[in-house]
Structure 1
Amino acid sequence: MGVSRARLPRATLWRYGIGSLGTGGFATLPGLVLVYYLTDTLGVTALVAGLILTISKVWDVAIDPVIGGRSDFSLARSGSRRRFMVMGGIALPVFFVVTFAVTPGLPPAVSAIWVTLAFILCATSFSLFQVPYIALPAELTGRYDERTRLLTWRVVVLTVAILLFGAGGPLLRDLFPDNPYLGYLVMALVAAVALGAGMLSSSTVAPQNVPEPESRPTASLVQNYRGGIRALIRSQPFRALLATFMLQGLATGMMLAGAQYVATWVLHSETAVTLLFVALIAPALLLTPAWGGLAKRIGKERGFWLASIIFLVACASLIMLLWSPGWWVFVPVAVAGAAYAGMQTLPMAMLPDVISHDAARHGEGRAGIFGGLWTAGETAGMAFGATALTVMLAITGYQESIGIDVVTQSTAAVMGIVLSFSVVPAAAMLVSLVTLSRYSLRRADIEPEGE
């Protein structure tokens, strides 16, 4: 199956990019409010809230390679990955609403079970869309710079999605201050419509090719996992890129889950979480195309290094919230937002390079397997970031609450929130630079001189 080397039409850029309205929205809104929903509305302890996220993401990690293998099989059999994307786009909105529709008055243990089951179904639905979605760039174009262009537009939509869901979700919830259960339900209903619209619209960009008659592979569950293991073993660039993205996902996931706690208990304004998101996303939205242009001049790898270092420095500076909490926090958050645009655009543009490099060396296209592993790593990193936050909250004595009950947090608990928003994520970013140093692919490996 050939991969085009022509310049991608603008319609393809936007149809692909609009999928990030769904992927970005689902990654952002639960990451921002789910832990807070569990601890401060449903009365679930911080450790149990962390366990719920861990269980759902362990399940996610387990099924993503299988979905990747089945997606490759679907491509070979039918000529398209579209079927999986449509199934995910239909199912995710339904289970997303169910997650935030817990009946008021249930015991915390029952509420925890409800959210666990519903969120596992959400994760499964999300993977049905996300895994083939991640695999598409390697199949839409074979050109090094065109992949950067394609993924740049995707990240533009991604940053808009983060702003809409991250800022708008809490605003919708807070329209019902006397009934948080209703607030979360309204938030979920509105979000579900946007999630489904973005994902189903993007599914139309999946190429529909006529499969070659002799290319109709089958794969068992064991073979799908073996395929994932082989991909990890044989592609050193993929291992380095995936490890880097996971570590950075842990850092950003921890900060995302901690933003509501910083707004409430450090800045003493629950609505400040909306302003934090505006400060983060406005620079990212403006500078995403600039990161694409910079990558064209100096290479994706060097651009990724620069973005990661800037984010690390901005993140570490937030430790000053311990001694001087105040609105100055929006300055380093804005700097982090500018860097975050590069941290999303460039590794996503590097992934199809890794996939095509592996196919060129080994003579078989396994984009679905790579997409499954990438999705598993990305979601696991973000989830374990939220889990790390709940562990820190539990260690420092954070007090959960039910409904509109009012509690007071200790100095130690507030310190734990600040550390979870600054030093700990900065440490994960520092380790990610070590793994990034092991990434070896360059432009010449993907697009030799003269092509």
Structure 2
Amino acid sequence: MALSRTTKLAYGLGQIAETTKSTGFNIFLFFFFTQVLGLSGTLAGLAVMIALVFDAVTDPLAGYLSDRSRSRFGRRHPFMLAAALPLALTWYLLFTPPPGLDQTGLFLWLTGFAVLVRGAITLYYVPYLGLGAELTTDYHERTSVAAWRGFCGVCGAALVVLLGVPVFFPESAAFENGLLNPAGYPLVAISGAVLMAISIVVSVWGTRANARMGVNPQQQATLGMLKNLQHIWGNSSFRALFLGTLLVSVSIGITQTLNMHLNVYFWGLTSNNIALLGAGVLLGWPAGILLARPLHRRFDKKPSIVGAALVAALAGNIAVVLELLELFPAAQSAAFVPSILLLLFIGGAASGLAMISGASMMADVAQQHADASGQQQEGFFFSAISFTGKIAAAAGYLVAGVGLDLIGFPLQASPSTVASEQIDHLALLSLSAGVFALASACTYSRYQLRQPTNPALAI
């Protein structure tokens, strides 16, 4: 039976919390601690890596506990609601370190509060993903649920990028780039905390009627956590998603660490231009999400995610390659903004399609496992994928952070003071992400599940 739009919207709104955290980390956190506060790239990368490893290790635990939870409020909702206040508080403190901290103090502050933020989001997000897999058993309705989640996530990212960057970091005579102004980061802290808390509470309240859907006491997990992991590793489709996520997450970690450095130093963009170009990705994501369901029906899910991974890898790196070869339109030319916007739109569409495809495919794998074993372990499946993604992204962050120090990239530097040779090295470092993205497409091709030829046999 199809879910109501109200239920899918309420569920989707919960994605805003995770997207706000992720977008804030990707855009602001590394840049803030290195270029505004002066923490070395190696220490910043190490801090983020430690937080991600902690986050990754706790993911399977959160999935395991929520799978086994029994409550009149359901398996997922108590965990989701319990995370709201800790997430908001630790997020605020992360971006408001006390003044005067030295390198050790900055490293400990970043490490400690990044760990706490990621721990709080794990407590919320792993059960949240498990809830999404339980809302429906229909093969194509799962794509619709994932699409609503994706749309709401785009809206959250839009609030952070299109409003946060130009509003909190306006251009001024005092700073060559608005993002170098430390006064904007406490605003990121308080606005993000409020937005995430509201997102969680609204999603929990809006899906309360579905809290106990999919709960069958006879099918709840009974195996230990390590036994669970050994059991699901035998599923070839799970392995394909697991390894594909590992590779693409290394790519994402490198890209996210260096993206703001590229915007400010390689492309020479102002904060207003960064927000404008961010619209390319944010417009592309909904396009990819809208394409997911018809592409899944026409070509199925595996070809969709493989094609999306290839396109995203190409779109995400070709502009840098062409600029290094002096073949890309100059930043001052009329063709520059449209060219960048087009590539960002294509990359965003491919990323949106890949995200929806991956989430829908994992729900199918979890259902296949439940049918074959009699064990409902949606939370554990999603947490295992999240685990590998975060471990791999941690490696990407560390590689990028150490790479910045190896190329001698200066800290707290205005764009005009950085040597062109160092900027070129920064660009070359960023291209390493493309290798991992291309490899992920090959791995996703090993996925085995297919669309049922008879609708009555749909999972």
Give the TM-score normalised by the residue count of structure 2: 0.88
Per-residue deviation, 1:213: 7.1
Q: Which residues in structure 2 correspond to 1:33-432 (within 5 Å)? A: 33-75=28-70, 79-175=74-170, 180-204=181-205, 205=207, 207-209=210-212, 223-231=224-232, 233-271=233-271, 272-318=273-319, 319-324=321-326, 326=331, 327=336, 328-401=339-412, 408-421=417-430, 423-432=431-440
**RMSD after superposition:** 2.6
Conserved? CA contact 1:151–1:345, under 8 Å: yes
CA distance in 1, matches of 2:314, 2:162: 24
Per-residue deviation, 1:133: 1.0
Specify every segment of 5 or more residues in structure 1 that has no aligned partner in the other structure, as ranges. Answer: 1-5
Any idea what SS the aligned residue of 2:409 has? coil
Per-residue deviation, 1:104: 2.1
Conserved? CA contact 1:127–1:375, under 8 Å: no
Per-residue deviation, 1:216: 8.1
1:39-89 Cα shifts (integer Å, max 9, x gaps): 111211101110001100110111111111111121478633101001122
Aligned-partner residue type, residue 249 of structure 1: S
Conserved? CA contact 2:219–2:374, under 8 Å: no
Per-residue deviation, 1:445: 9.3
Q: Which shifted more, 409-418 or 84-93?
A: 409-418
Aligned-partner residue type, residue 38 of structure 1: F
Partner of 2:177: none
Aligned-partner residue type, residue 19 of structure 1: G
CA distance in 2, matches of 1:29, 1:194: 12
CA distance in 2, matches of 1:200, 1:290: 30
Q: Which shifted more, 88-97 or 125-134?
A: 88-97
- The equivalent position to 2:444 in structure 1, one of 421, 424, 436, is 436
Percent identity over the alignment? 23
1:450/1:215 CA distance change after superposition, 3 Å:
closer
CA distance in 1, matches of 2:19, 2:41: 25
CA distance in 2, matches of 1:68, 1:425: 29
Conserved? CA contact 1:176–1:182, under 8 Å: no
1:321/1:183 CA distance change after superposition, 3 Å:
same
CA distance in 1, matches of 2:171, 2:186: 10
Aligned-partner residue type, residue 260 of structure 2: Q
CA distance in 2, matches of 1:28, 1:382: 14
CA distance in 2, matches of 1:317, 1:133: 36
Conserved? CA contact 2:34–2:411, under 8 Å: yes
CA distance in 1, matches of 2:445, 2:72: 39
1:215/1:139 CA distance change after superposition, 3 Å:
closer
Conserved? CA contact 1:144–1:446, under 8 Å: no
CA distance in 2, matches of 1:448, 1:412: 61
Per-residue deviation, 1:354: 0.7
Aligned-partner residue type, residue 361 of structure 2: M
Per-residue deviation, 1:315: 2.3
Per-residue deviation, 1:257: 2.8
Conserved? CA contact 2:304–2:357, under 8 Å: yes
Q: Which shifted more, 236-245 or 197-206?
A: 197-206
Per-residue deviation, 1:217: 7.1
Conserved? CA contact 1:353–1:446, under 8 Å: no
1:96-132 Cα shifts (integer Å, max 9, x gaps): 0100001222212212211211110000000001101
CA distance in 2, matches of 1:136, 1:102: 35
Any idea what SS the aligned residue of 1:137 has? helix
1:361-397 Cα shifts (integer Å, max 9, x gaps): 1111111211221222333344433333213212211
Conserved? CA contact 2:254–2:433, under 8 Å: yes
CA distance in 1, matches of 2:171, 2:106: 20
CA distance in 1, matches of 2:404, 2:199: 35
Aligned residues: 439
1:103/1:181 CA distance change after superposition, 3 Å:
farther
Per-residue deviation, 1:405: 7.3
Partner of 1:3: none
CA distance in 2, matches of 1:359, 1:447: 19
Per-residue deviation, 1:92: 0.8
Aligned-partner residue type, residue 145 of structure 1: H
Conserved? CA contact 2:53–2:390, under 8 Å: no
1:321/1:209 CA distance change after superposition, 3 Å:
same
